[in-house]
Amino acid sequence: MRNGSLALGDYPGDVVHISCKRCGRSGSYRLDGLIARFGADDALPDVPLELASCERRADFSRPCGARFTDLAR
């Protein structure tokens, strides 16, 4: 069981949009391509950080802010 978080296979749409407010990066990816790469069960919160080649990715004190723009509230 997943602990309440969405998985990649649950993403609402065919194209995944990701952006990072901290470094200004953004990108879009086809959902089927991401599922082929990560698997439909990969937890959604993990995906932006794996995709974003952000300089803050390994900075644990100020981590990368990459997130799904479609899911932002």
- Per rule CB under 5 A, is residue 23 in the interface with Zn ion? yes
Q: How many CB atoms lie within 10 A of CB 66?
A: 25
Apex 31 CA angle, 5 and 42, nearest 5: 35
Scanning 2-10, 13-21, 34-42, 43-51 for contacts with Zn ion by CB under 5 A, the matching segment is 13-21
Tell me whether residue 22 or residue 38 sits nearer to Zn ion (CB atom): 22
Residue 64 interacting with Zn ion (CB under 5 A): yes
The Cα angle at residue 4 between residues 55 and 54, in degrees rounded to 5: 5
Shortest Å, Cβ 40 to Zn ion:
25
